[in-house]
Amino acid sequence: MADLDPVIHAQARLRITASLATLGDGESIAFPRLQELLDMTAGNLSTHLRKLEEADYVVVSKTHQGRVPVTYLELTRAGRRAFEDYTESLRRLLGESTERDARAHAEVPPTG
Amino acid sequence: MSQASAEGETPLSPAAALAVLNNQQRIVSGRLGSNVWIITGAWGVAWLLGFLVIWVMDSHFSGFALPTWLGWTIFGALFAAAIVVSAVLGIRSGRGIRSNSANSFTGTVYGVTWAVAMLSISVFGAGLLSHGMTTGLADLFYPSAYTLLVGILYLAAAAIWRIVQMIVAGAFLVLLAVVAPFLGHPTNYLVFGIAGGAMFLTLAIVGAVRLRSAVARG
């Protein structure tokens, strides 16, 4: 399990990252909506988001809708990439062949 | 993982992690798209009942006469209801989701294209009517012209947002639009109602079943 990204490989952060990765590229989600989708407490969500932000996987943008402050969250390019790599590592550990494996096999000529 | 343990969480095995990941993505996609089947269903009802009403009205069955104004009012009300359902549920499911300016641009241009398409058909038809298009021909022209553009716009949506289901719906509507005039009036209205309505209702049922199984697994 040495190559599983420790920033993502914890249940809460894995769920947060997976949820954010479901959104399209360039889409962000308001903190309360994300909280609702994850069914987490605001404090718990904030703690884990901070760790993802420190790793540069999540970007937090604060804005206003009228006078109400709203926080939007979105995966950075590095975050999306890290999540894809993490998913692929999991599949490889579980012995599932991945697209990348298939490409690697295709590039290596068969021996013998 | 030591870091996970330090946070008081049970370390995840790769299998458990993959299950958590898949589960979460299913829940999020399910909740964000949970209204789509209702919207599709509303369009199915509008197409089925709306066109059938016009077909009944224009078929002049003996002993049964539906006034023209009433027929088109029912038709208009059903389609207006579908538009309202789409707008309300669309806004609700997109609650708290924000797009960047590139995505917003795409969405706005696509939305305005719908308005331009629908408006241009009515002006185009008015032009033809002013130069002698008979009401008999208008009954073939309008439903096919609108359906053709709706089908093309669905195909454009399928291309922009990569939605396979919309390729099916768009291609089916284009086919329906070009075949219907050959069937003549008022049979074309019957075919729009039955085939169009059945297509939307089938997609709605498939969507509802998929959502239900996703929720059950989640």
* Distance in angstroms (rounded) separating the CA atoms of residues B6 and A15: 18
Q: Where are the domains of chain B?
A: 12-217
Contact between A76 and A56 under an 8 Å Cβ cutoff? The reply is yes
Contact between A70 and B97 under an 8 Å Cβ cutoff? The reply is no
CB contact under 8 A, A90 and B17: yes
Is pLDDT at B1 greater than 50 in this prediction? Answer: no
Kindly state whether residue A111 falls inside one of the protein's structural domains.
no
Q: What is the pTM of this model?
A: 0.80
Kindly state whether residue A1 falls inside one of the protein's structural domains.
no
Contact between A50 and B55 under an 8 Å Cβ cutoff? The reply is no
Number of domains in chain A: 1
Residue A76 or residue B11, greater confidence: A76
Tell me how far the alpha carbon of residue B16 is from its chain's centroid.
38
Sheet with B97-99, side-by-side order of all strands: A58-65, A68-75, A27-30, B97-99
Kindly state whether residue A36 falls inside one of the protein's structural domains.
yes
* Distance in angstroms (rounded) separating the CA atoms of residues B167 and B152: 9
Residue A67 or residue A21, greater confidence: A21
pLDDT at B215: 66
Contact between A62 and A70 under an 8 Å Cβ cutoff? The reply is yes
A35 shares contact with chain B (CB less than 8 Å): no
Kindly state whether residue A74 falls inside one of the protein's structural domains.
yes
B12, two tokens:
């995840």
Contacts of B3 in chain A (CB under 8 A): 6, 10
Q: Which ipTM value was assigned to this complex?
A: 0.82
Kindly state whether residue A109 falls inside one of the protein's structural domains.
no
- How do residues B92-147 score in pLDDT, each as one tens digit? 888 899 888 888 899 999 999 999 999 999 999 999 999 999 999 999 999 999 99
Under DSSP, the state recorded for A57 is S
Q: What's the CATH number where A23 sits?
A: 1.10.10.10
- Nearest CA distance, B18 vs chain A (angstrom): 7
Closest CA to B151 of B133, B168, B127: B168
Kindly state whether residue A3 falls inside one of the protein's structural domains.
no
- A77-93 and B14-32 helices cross at what angle (nearest 10)? 130
Angle among Cα B154, A22, B171 to the nearest 5 degrees reads: 15
Range of the domain at A56: 11-102
